[in-house]
Structure 1
Amino acid sequence: MLDDTKKIFIQESEELLEQMENALLEMEQVPDDAEHLNSVFRAIHTIKGAAGIFGFDAIVAFTHPVESVMDNVRNGIRLVDPDLVALLLKCKDHTANLVESISDGQEDISEALLEAGQTLLDELNPEQKSGALDVVKNKRENIEVSDRKNASDDNWVISLDFKSDALRNGLDPLSFINYLKRMGEIVEIITFTHDFPCWEDMEPESCYLSFRIALLSSASKEEIKSVFEFAMDDCELRIIPPRSELEKYLALLEELTGEELNKLGELLIQVGALTEQELSNALQVQSSVLSDDAATQEVKPLGEILVEQHVVSKGVVDKAVEKQESIREKIAQETQYIRVDADRLGQLINLVGELVISNAAVKLLVEKHDLADVQEVVNGVEGLVENIRDHALQLRMVQIGDTFSRFRRVVRDVSKDLNKDVELVITGGEAELDKTVVEKINDPLTHLVRNSLDHGFETPEERVAQGKPKKGVLRLNALHDSGHIVIQIADDGAGLDTKKIRKKAEEKGLIYAGQELSHREILRLIFEPGLTTKDTASNISGRGVGMDVVKRNIDALRGSIEVDSERGKGTLVTIHLPLTLAIIEGFMVGVEKERFVIPLSMVEECVEMDTNEWHLDKNSHYVNLRGQVMPYIKLSEFFGVNYQHGRRGRESLVVVRVGRAKAGIVVDRLFGELQTVIKPLGKVFQGLKGVSGATVLGSGDIALILDVQGLIGLASAKASDVKTLESV
């Protein structure tokens, strides 16, 4: 798509070529008319100069020899005859073809067109071959009109046409051009003299000058326009911004966060793409159509008028219209929402929880008394309760993207303090989870981000020396996974030094020398209290306080945290969190008369004891399930349940998974799925291992909700301890 500066060149070239053709036709009749001769010269000279500003080298290479011939005619070196006029008309047509090729958006002029131009130039000046074709071919490889003109795409182009009364009103065109030098560097000036009348008709007090000025400046459009503030009534002014300025307008429009719907003109003025005067002129054009006859003439949109007047690029207008539409949609969406007090919403969730419990109690009574005629009604109510539960929980769901966005400032400030260059990339911000979870995860995420910036990333010099990009990348990502939200914090930094972690852990007495640990187990040591790999503490990290708190806070949310790292390549921290802390789908199991609930999203499968698919190794506390070995824990042993008369029920294995960690839980009975309203434990039971909360059953009994993450950790530790003792 052509930019506005090229459009102006094409439009004005077409007008000049038409004037040139008319003058040449008159020259056939009156060869000695100096006015027509000057008109042809001015037209070809102006086209050549403008083409030079815009870097259209093929047009410059062709029109320059034609201009030289016309200069010889003016100086009496060459006479005008019908053959010369015919050749000049062909040159005019060829110039029109060159301009047309530009309007079609062709980057290179075709070989056929170049050769046709060379043939014309050879006929025009047979005694001296111009070599224009070779010049253009060479310039394709290294275009060089002048060193400064190559930067024309980043110049302001000012189209300045003075009216005939400008001089009578005391204006000096040269003073305005001189004042522009204060704004920047004037790269090129083309003076248009094609409006000059013949000398006999020329009035000394009238102004016939027009200018096209290429200005290299950091000034804004409004500042450049202010130079001509007092001459607006005596000139026609168009200011075409450079390419870099257009990109700035587009970026500003993208960043606009309007609270109210602004008009198109106001948006364009707000970003600096339009001046008040330009808007006023366009509105006058629009209103003049309305006042003439709105029934017979189509009223053009303001944006279309601005583009036609070449004061704003079509791309900028389209972007402004798009921003208008997005603001309109945002306002429409906001009218659909009402603010609700968080405490009232919490009360609603609590009442929904009580409704779930009461419905479960009614269901039990119906089953106990075998009230078949009521069963259908109860089932219907149960469905409604589930819908109410889901919608009530949805009210408290918020996108995590707002939380992620807060870390842009953290990354900027901390990386600057550490003399590091780090870019934050956010993905998955549309993932939703409970507002209470979002509030409680902010502090752990802040610590992990700051820790990554301090420990993870190298300095720019170190990264370059290692063959890495100078700028590091920190990624925050969120996604849903089987009833959980997964948050990932990844960096492409130095990675964790497992040897150093192990050494520090041995010094702290967390492990003993020679103890066998896998790569993942060593990485997990960073969550131990007091362990840090930094030799000196800073105001950001290095005191060994924080990662253990991060894990404890995430555990309190019934979540899990894992670390993967490869030396020299980076680190990935993965957090799994439940979507809500209020009501979940649970899976109820039993040991003797006790009831326990496992979050259903963590249950992979259940296997009966009397099958041959699994085998318990009571000595090493591992279970082999169809060739897959995993640690296990028996709830009866863990909670010290005493069986009546020493009898045990048929045992079952419930396979649970949190992230990539899996384990087996051996229970006596499987009761199936259950809507579970989570109740917090009292202070007396808050330190109870393997339990994260409780729920009230329909019968009024209490069932403990298992802390699956904690149980997997305990089972793994127990199996590891047995393995270690056996090796000793």
Structure 2
Amino acid sequence: MNISDPTETFRQEARELLDQLEAGLLDLEQDPSNSDLINSTFRALHTIKGSGAMFGFTAVAEFVHDFETAFDRVRKGQSQANAALIQVALDAKDHIHRLIVEPETRIDGGDAILAQLRLIVEGGAAAIAAPPAATPASAAPAAKGADTPKTWRLVFYLPGDALLYGTNPLLLLEELAQIGPLSITALTGRVPSLDVLDPETPHIGWQVDIVAEDPTGAIDDVFLFLRDSMELTLVPLDAEVEAVPDTMPAEPEAVAAPSNQAADDMPGASIEHAAPSRARAVEKPEGAAATSLRVPAERLDELMDRVGELVIAQARLSQIAAQSSDSGLKTIAEELERLSSGLRDTTMGIRMVPIGSLFGRFRRLIHDLSSELGKPIDFVTAGEDTELDKTMIERLADPLVHLIRNSVDHGLESAEKRIAAGKPAKGVVRLSAVYSGAEVAISIADDGGGLDAARIRAKAEENGLISADTKLTDPELHQLIFAPGFSTAKEITALSGRGVGMDVVKRTIDGLRGTIEVTTAPGKGTTMTLRLPLTLAIIDGMLVRVGNGRYTIPLTAVEECVELPDGIEAHARGRNFLDIRGSLVPYLRLREVFGTAGPAELHQKVVIVSSGEGRVGLVVDQIIGNNQTVIKQLSKLHSAIKSFSGATILGDGTVALILDTAHLVSAGQAYVERNQTGRAA
């Protein structure tokens, strides 16, 4: 049994909270007066502080405590959120991240960040000095008048499991001390005798008299995550109640009383004491069942591998059953096929992650690039609910960073140039995702100046990528920007100019069996579209035969199957097209593409596949049927073979190559054009 590391659990939860904090701060910059955003940001800080103290990250808890104290002025309306505050708060968030990642390392800069944060929230005015934490209420008499602070009596008992989960009562009392002058009295009337005392149960209660106008909201924040399961009473004290002694000495027999007897700890206060047995119990509201479970990614990968092996074994059983006359065996094979198919879909669903979890990371990138380059930018996202395999999500982060930086640095003009061109001063970068057949299309679009084809060509000739007389279409020319070392930047900056990045993007996307499309319009902008398969693990496939070889076509890319008309060669006249209900679709003879020897079948079939907006027909000898396909990656020795995206093991133990339909669709037109040129010559 694997026991998870509690500090690693904290780090994982802290990462999520820091992402939430960053998103809240960026939203707050756009809507500074939104109280919901301010409160959610404050709650994220409060949770990080409490969890940090619980798991021994003292430096984190102390830094966040001061951060929270400064930000509390914004929450109380004493200061206004502005761009300067957001920038320093983001720096503070980054500092918290470093403290969590490297807890043993001394990390400087925290004091400077907090000092700058305090200066901003105080607005240059004199700071309001916090009263001493342990000043008795009687030593701070209130001035008479309409705004005279009152004395409030707070009595609370923590839940029975509070100490077990790391709650520190002293830290809670320190937070209460920030509300106003107070006096604190421990209530020991519920402490049982030693023979029945449970050291993990908080038997001691606390009476706190606070001088403040109305501390209700601040007290709710202090006990934010304990309020539902604890005893807490807050009442204002009038002159008569103030004269009553704060606590009564507990009788000896009361101190030694069994834990199931309640004692009157505070005469004169309006509070109901629950039995200690209830205080120890973990009270959960009805129906509050866990809705999610954190599972290490390695276990999901292992589960996916096991499911893949099960699918292969099921295929072998189905093939054996098909050759047998045993009806019982056939029934079991069919049942196993149904169950393995359902298990495959469920496992793949577990691995699917909304791409919005990736998109959220780039808001900070856009914010920082806008400040660094002095370009006002409006960042727009769409399709955040589109799901991709978690492996794809993890490997897409760096390529998208490069593409977004490229759009901001190269694509968007400065505000002055945009105004001169009749555009709004603020540029737009749009990041979107949408399902497209068997793929997900992720687009990064900007409304900048577009690609300069002449400049790209000149740079390509200068670098020796093409010769002066090479004829290229616009899409082919645009693909040159992904060549290693290619850059049209006139000078090297911190962001660009060295030609490193776009070639890495291309290699990464190729490794994911994806493609990159570039569309641009001078003066209107550029769009980079990444087309990626939904998953890298298991797919439904159509098994076909070409000569003696068998190949798998991803079923989601298949539109339809038709028979190749007899005598089509006699009427083709060099035009390899089929008329599919009024639309001309180019077709490729896979026997010619793969160099298959031997005569073709008399009645060949055409499988129409699509990728994006393109379609191509693949001529095969036989369509064998559909099957579940476990994708096995090809070795590096086969990386130059672009027609195949992987391989799979069939039920009889043989190997079938998986066709890369996106590559075949893009290559189809070029293949047809070469064929036409050869025949014309």
TM-score, normalised to structure 2, is 0.58
Q: Aligned partners of 1:425, 1:446: CA distance in 2, in Å?
A: 15
Q: Does 1:564 align with 2:552?
A: no
Q: Aligned partners of 1:353, 1:384: CA distance in 2, in Å?
A: 13
Determine the structure 1 residue equivalent to 2:48.
none
Report the CA distance between 1:354 and its aligned residue: 0.9
Whichever residue aligns with residue 558 of structure 2, its letter is V
Q: How does 1:32-181 map to 2 (within 5 A)?
A: none
After superposition, give the CA deviation of every residue in 1:13-38 in whole Å (9 maximum; x if it has no partner). Answer: xxxxxxxxxxxxxxxxxxxxxxxxxx
Determine the structure 2 residue equivalent to 1:468.
423
Whichever residue aligns with residue 321 of structure 2, its letter is V
Report the CA distance between 1:678 and its aligned residue: 0.5
Report the CA distance between 1:220 and its aligned residue: 10
Contact 1:633 1:666 in 2 (8 A): yes
Determine the structure 2 residue equivalent to 1:182.
none
Taking a change above 3 Å as real, the CA distance of residues 574 and 726 of structure 1, as seen in their structure-2 partners, is same
Q: How does 1:172-191 map to 2 (within 5 A)?
A: none
Contact 1:592 1:649 in 2 (8 A): no
Determine the structure 2 residue equivalent to 1:651.
604
Determine helix, strand or coil for the equivalent of 2:510. Answer: helix
Pairs aligned (count): 451
Taking a change above 3 Å as real, the CA distance of residues 523 and 356 of structure 1, as seen in their structure-2 partners, is same
Determine the structure 2 residue equivalent to 1:279.
214
Determine the structure 1 residue equivalent to 2:617.
664
Determine helix, strand or coil for the equivalent of 1:398. Answer: strand
Determine the structure 1 residue equivalent to 2:251.
none
Q: Aligned partners of 2:546, 2:366: CA distance in 1, in Å?
A: 50
Determine helix, strand or coil for the equivalent of 2:491. Answer: coil
Report percent identity of matched pairs.
40
- 1:711 aligned to 651, 664, 667, which one? 664
Q: Aligned partners of 2:387, 2:348: CA distance in 1, in Å?
A: 11
Report the CA distance between 1:284 and its aligned residue: 5.1
More helix by share: 1
Report the CA distance between 1:719 and its aligned residue: 3.2
Contact 1:654 1:664 in 2 (8 A): yes
Q: Aligned partners of 2:216, 2:655: CA distance in 1, in Å?
A: 78
Report the CA distance between 1:221 and its aligned residue: 14
Q: How does 1:362-441 map to 2 (within 5 A)?
A: 362-441=317-396
Contact 1:613 1:625 in 2 (8 A): no
Determine the structure 1 residue equivalent to 2:190.
none
Q: Aligned partners of 1:438, 1:278: CA distance in 2, in Å?
A: 51
After superposition, give the CA deviation of every residue in 1:399-426 in whole Å (9 maximum; x if it has no partner). Answer: 2222222222322333333232223223
Contact 1:560 1:658 in 2 (8 A): no
Whichever residue aligns with residue 235 of structure 1, its letter is G
Q: Aligned partners of 2:494, 2:545: CA distance in 1, in Å?
A: 50
Q: Does 1:235 align with 2:170?
A: no
Whichever residue aligns with residue 650 of structure 2, its letter is L
Q: Does 1:574 align with 2:529?
A: yes
Contact 1:679 1:693 in 2 (8 A): yes
Determine helix, strand or coil for the equivalent of 2:529. Answer: strand
Q: Does 1:633 align with 2:633?
A: no
Q: Does 1:598 align with 2:553?
A: yes
- 1:497 aligned to 443, 452, 455, which one? 452
Q: Aligned partners of 1:568, 1:430: CA distance in 2, in Å?
A: 31
Q: Aligned partners of 2:423, 2:384: CA distance in 1, in Å?
A: 28
After superposition, give the CA deviation of every residue in 1:220-255 in whole Å (9 maximum; x if it has no partner). Answer: 9995998xx96735223299xxxxxxxxxxxxxxxx
Contact 2:429 2:445 in 1 (8 A): yes
Q: Does 1:702 align with 2:655?
A: yes
Q: How does 1:225-624 map to 2 (within 5 A)?
A: 232-237=142-147, 277-280=212-215, 335-508=290-463, 510=465, 517-610=472-565, 617=572, 619=574, 623=578
Report the CA distance between 1:637 and its aligned residue: 1.6
Q: Aligned partners of 1:535, 1:557: CA distance in 2, in Å?
A: 32
Taking a change above 3 Å as real, the CA distance of residues 529 and 347 of structure 1, as seen in their structure-2 partners, is same
Contact 1:437 1:580 in 2 (8 A): yes
Q: Aligned partners of 2:331, 2:178: CA distance in 1, in Å?
A: 64
Q: Aligned partners of 1:508, 1:724: CA distance in 2, in Å?
A: 29
After superposition, give the CA deviation of every residue in 1:533-563 in whole Å (9 maximum; x if it has no partner). Answer: 3333433233444333322321221222212
After superposition, give the CA deviation of every residue in 1:337-375 in whole Å (9 maximum; x if it has no partner). Answer: 333222222111111011111111111111101323332
Point out the structure with max Rg over C-alpha.
Answer: 1
Determine helix, strand or coil for the equivalent of 1:376. Answer: helix
Structure 1, unpaired ranges of 5+: 1-154, 157-216, 240-258, 292-327
Q: Aligned partners of 1:468, 1:269: CA distance in 2, in Å?
A: 54
Structure 2, unpaired ranges of 5+: 1-76, 79-121, 132-138, 150-165, 180-209, 218-232, 242-283
After superposition, give the CA deviation of every residue in 1:321-344 in whole Å (9 maximum; x if it has no partner). Answer: xxxxxxx99x968x4333322222
Whichever residue aligns with residue 404 of structure 2, its letter is V
TM-score, normalised to structure 1, is 0.54
After superposition, give the CA deviation of every residue in 1:94-121 in whole Å (9 maximum; x if it has no partner). Answer: xxxxxxxxxxxxxxxxxxxxxxxxxxxx
Determine the structure 1 residue equivalent to 2:109.
none
After superposition, give the CA deviation of every residue in 1:606-653 in whole Å (9 maximum; x if it has no partner). Answer: 22113799998474655554553444322212222222xx35342122
Report the CA distance between 1:286 and its aligned residue: 8.3
Taking a change above 3 Å as real, the CA distance of residues 647 and 598 of structure 1, as seen in their structure-2 partners, is closer
Q: Aligned partners of 2:504, 2:351: CA distance in 1, in Å?
A: 26
Determine helix, strand or coil for the equivalent of 2:147. Answer: strand
Determine the structure 1 residue equivalent to 2:16.
none
Q: Aligned partners of 1:224, 1:433: CA distance in 2, in Å?
A: 52
Report the CA distance between 1:285 and its aligned residue: 5.6
Farther off after superposition, 462-471 or 535-544: 535-544
Report the CA distance between 1:677 and its aligned residue: 0.4
Report the CA distance between 1:725 and its aligned residue: 6.8
After superposition, give the CA deviation of every residue in 1:125-161 in whole Å (9 maximum; x if it has no partner). Answer: xxxxxxxxxxxxxxxxxxxxxxxxxxxxxx99xxxxx
Q: Aligned partners of 1:220, 1:271: CA distance in 2, in Å?
A: 20
Report the CA distance between 1:514 and its aligned residue: 6.7
Report the CA distance between 1:582 and its aligned residue: 0.6
Whichever residue aligns with residue 374 of structure 1, its letter is L
Report the CA distance between 1:385 and its aligned residue: 0.8
Contact 1:649 1:669 in 2 (8 A): no
Q: Aligned partners of 2:568, 2:176: CA distance in 1, in Å?
A: 74
Q: Aligned partners of 1:617, 1:502: CA distance in 2, in Å?
A: 36
Determine helix, strand or coil for the equivalent of 2:432. Answer: strand
Taking a change above 3 Å as real, the CA distance of residues 413 and 723 of structure 1, as seen in their structure-2 partners, is farther
Whichever residue aligns with residue 406 of structure 1, its letter is R
Q: Aligned partners of 1:594, 1:407: CA distance in 2, in Å?
A: 46
Contact 2:643 2:663 in 1 (8 A): yes
